Structure 1
Amino acid sequence: MDRTMPARLIDPATMARLTALADLDPTLVVDDFTTPEATAALARTEVIISCWGCPPLDATTLAAAPALRAVIHAAGSVKHHITDACWDRGITVSSAAWANALPVAEYTVAAVLLANKRILQLGADYRRARTPRTPGDNIGNYRKTVGIVGASRIGRRVLELLRPYDLELLLHDPYITADEATALGARAVPLDELCSASDVVSIHAPELPETHHLIDARRLALMPDGATLVNTARGSLLDQNALIHEARTGRLHAVLDVTTPDVLPPDSPLYDLPNVLLTPHIAGSLGTELHRMATAAADELARYTEGLPFAHPVLPEGIHRTA
């Protein structure tokens, strides 16, 4: 992992647990598998605990790690470092994607509820005018419709958190049946219908070739006047220029935690549009939330030492449609 990660990721109690479970040197942090230090460690390594910044585990690296049996990823996606060579070798992989999904879902729920209350606009108006104005009749969350795009870990958690509210929940996911959507508390609908019917559309699909610009100009045009788009997935899933056009007219609102590029250039109009809330990719685990992912990794290491299967395995047959 990145050399700065352990101090932020692993609290003292979890580090003590990890060192009790395995022969682990807390000072050995590898971000390059080709160094003499890394090569010496790989020769005797059975389990790698990885996080953001882990280099690829390719065939050359695996050849230097004959005892390697498992990778426990203390973060979300493993696509950056788990290669086909890992699957060919039969290495078992675990991910803390479920743990990283929790703060993203919490951010999303907050965005949905505040969007329907028009907090961003009413707060700005109040600050500017120094006197409250009467909100429109359509403000509020009662009986509003929220459309969730993607029954991912995050999408499912968002649905779970929104169920207690008086909302109609719609779901689009090509791999989910109507009965499965009902079990999640939502109604399965085609994506065009979801966009047309929703007061808030929230994107939770993976970044894949087939999801590029999934929400394009046509689907943005389907959204009702005053609707809000929330994107905590990846910037590529949204036609950003089309959104800018819609937002400039004032017709749509947006909450964007991800953009294309991830850090926008200083002249991007998204910075200045009053109906767009930009945050710098903070929906995922930050601060104390990182410790949850380290705890998840320690739990998986404990299962491994007991000869138990991982609780949160990553399987090669499903990786093509996950983030």
Structure 2
Amino acid sequence: MKRIALIPGSDIWQGIFTAKHLDRLRQFGELIVNSSPGKPSKERVAEMIRDADIAITSWGCPAFDAEVLREASRLKLVAHAAGTVKYVVTPELIDRGIRVSSANEALGIGVAETALGLTIASLKRMWQLSQSTRQGLWEEGKELIRELYGLTIGVVGAGKAGRHYIRLLRQFEVDILLYDPIVSEEQAAVLGCRKVEFAELLDMSDVISIHAPSIPETDRMFNRQAFSRMKDDAVLINTARGSLIDEDDLAAELAKGRFTACIDVTDQEPPSADHPFRTLPNVILIPHIAGAVNNGKQRMGRHAVEEVGRFLAGQPLEGEVDLRNLHVLA
């Protein structure tokens, strides 16, 4: 019988895995559950995976280094019920040939849906019109509304969230541009968009949605030079990572009133009480809610359970991480 270890603290996994999920895991084999809240120690994880074939991880789990893996001779799969696996994967885990699966696709669905919601609400100017109607106005500002029709939408990054955002956009009559150096023109065409260079995307897009990973190559890629190329009345959406934006440069550009920014992530979270994003009228600042929140986290639990089933059935893993490309992943 296979042994499956559910590693995260009980306060974490109880928000991700339902009773139905746990029952399904027990059908696969013996389920060992961490019943203690809080981040599990390396010693606790090493004990739980000593005789485990599969480990399920999520937020708060330590790196699977030599100390954790020292007696885990049976371990063959780490199914990560969250997004990035960078803080779990180590050279020791890679050297042992242990396979790793991420729930990035499940997480990306919520991110993409939030980005689409921000896209529509911003073009419809719902934020501004809501404030004006509270002030007793009604018709003022409606002439500035735009529909998600006949516009150009720029997508930066075709990872799981970016690709799902593109799929959602294909339900509308818009032109979709993609900037992603590792996606070919042919691959972009299959996705339903056109591959362009970053400068062209900035020049042409009415809406720009950021879905790129936080890596050295993307650090502060949205800076003063990039903002100067953007259209007046454009909408900039960041549901990826705060490090992709030079926040001082963005605040200075937004102070001119040229375009709108929808910010879900900041470089420091939460941003300081006096951060200009909190007061600029053309900023929609939300508290990092684009990913899995509340019941949305259960989508990641389902994905992890299904990955365990696919692994045991000898089927391809939908979320398998190519550990050779870890440096370019989110």
With normalisation by structure 2, the TM-score equals 0.93
Q: Which runs of 4+ in 1 moved over 6 A?
A: none
1:187 corresponds in structure 2 to 194
**1:43 and 1:65 in contact (8 A); partners too:** yes
> Match of 1:229, SS?
strand
Residue correspondence of structure 1 range 1-323 to structure 2 within 5 A? 1-28=8-35, 31-35=39-43, 37-136=44-143, 139-323=146-330
Q: Report the Cα offset of residue 179 of structure 1.
A: 2.2
Q: More deviation in 155-164 or 124-133?
A: 124-133
Distance 2:55 2:327 in 1: 23
2:4 corresponds in structure 1 to none
Q: Deviations 1:178-215 (Å, cap 9, x if unpaired)? A: 22222212121111111111111111111100100111
**1:10 and 1:291 in contact (8 A); partners too:** yes
Distance 1:33 1:45 in 2: 17
Q: More deviation in 181-190 or 151-160?
A: 181-190
Q: Go from structure 1 to structure 2 and tell me whether the alpha carbon gap of 1:137 and 1:255 turns closer, same or farther (over 3 Å shift).
A: closer
With normalisation by structure 1, the TM-score equals 0.95
**1:3 and 1:31 in contact (8 A); partners too:** no
**2:40 and 2:60 in contact (8 A); partners too:** no
Q: Go from structure 1 to structure 2 and tell me whether the alpha carbon gap of 1:170 and 1:34 turns closer, same or farther (over 3 Å shift).
A: closer
**1:120 and 1:275 in contact (8 A); partners too:** no
Q: Report the Cα offset of residue 58 of structure 1.
A: 0.6
Give the superposed CA RMSD. 1.7
> Match of 2:188, SS?
helix
Q: Report the Cα offset of residue 12 of structure 1.
A: 0.8
Distance 2:119 2:91 in 1: 38
**2:81 and 2:303 in contact (8 A); partners too:** yes
Query: Where in structure 2 are there 5+ consecutive unaligned residues?
Result: 1-7
Q: Report the Cα offset of residue 39 of structure 1.
A: 3.9
**1:125 and 1:132 in contact (8 A); partners too:** no
Q: Report the Cα offset of residue 17 of structure 1.
A: 0.9
Q: Go from structure 1 to structure 2 and tell me whether the alpha carbon gap of 1:3 and 1:125 turns closer, same or farther (over 3 Å shift).
A: same
Which amino acid in 2 is paired with 1:71?
A: V
Q: Go from structure 1 to structure 2 and tell me whether the alpha carbon gap of 1:190 and 1:39 turns closer, same or farther (over 3 Å shift).
A: closer
Q: Report the Cα offset of residue 134 of structure 1.
A: 4.4
Q: More deviation in 262-271 or 139-148?
A: 139-148
Q: More deviation in 37-46 or 15-24?
A: 37-46
Q: Deviations 1:2-53 (Å, cap 9, x if unpaired)? A: 4411211111111111122121133545833444x54432321221100111
Query: Where in structure 1 are there 5+ consecutive unaligned residues?
Result: none
Q: Deviations 1:219-261 (Å, cap 9, x if unpaired)? A: 1111111111100000000111111111112112100000010
